[in-house]
């Protein structure tokens, strides 16, 4: 069984910083990509940033210049450094991973971690 374990969420004032971590565990043969999504109350889940196995990253326009995704392949981990946080960044943040276990790549999700930014 694959498990994505997130940590690092919390309550922070506007302008502050948080660092989210996600570690994938299980019989993983290869990682295609790892990403962070978020979902605010009443809104659809949206992509925040993605890190491909090649090292290429992409970030949503709303977080460019403030958030940075990075990873540690040895630990099957992905991180999201969030700076200059705004109240509109308040959401549940989900770790996502595109993993190869035995037959094909499949999509996996963590349970989410709450990020709350107060004004």
Q: How confident is the model at residue 115, as a pLDDT? A: 98
- Which pairing describes strands 113-118 and 57-59: parallel, antiparallel, or unpaired? unpaired
Q: How confident is the model at residue 73, as a pLDDT? A: 85
Q: Go through 87-102 and write b for each residue having 16 or more CB atoms within 10 A of its CB, e for each that does not.
A: eebbbbbbbbbbbeee
- Which pairing describes strands 67-72 and 77-82: parallel, antiparallel, or unpaired? antiparallel
Q: How confident is the model at residue 102, as a pLDDT? A: 86
Q: What distances in angstroms separate CA 91 from CA 49, 60, 95, one per listed residue? A: 14, 15, 13
Mean pLDDT by 10 residues, the chain (119 residues): 95 98 94 97 97 96 98 94 98 97 92 97
Q: How confident is the model at residue 103, as a pLDDT? A: 86
Strand partners, 101: none
Q: How far apart are CA 1 and CA 95, in angstroms?
A: 16
């Amino acid at each position: 069984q694959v498990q994505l374990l997130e940590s690092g969420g919390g309550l922070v004032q506007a302008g502050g910083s948080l660092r989210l971590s996600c570690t994938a565990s299980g019989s993983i043969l290869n990682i295609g990509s790892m990403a962070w999504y978020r979902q605010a109350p009443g809104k659809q889940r949206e992509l925040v940033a993605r890190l491909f196995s090649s090292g290429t990253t992409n970030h949503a326009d709303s977080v460019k210049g403030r958030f940075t995704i990075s990873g540690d392949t040895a630990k099957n981990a992905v991180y999201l450094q969030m700076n200059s946080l705004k109240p509109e960044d308040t959401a549940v943040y989900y770790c996502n991973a595109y993993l190869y276990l035995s037959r094909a790549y499949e999509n996996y999700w963590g349970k989410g971690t709450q990020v709350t930014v107060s004004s």
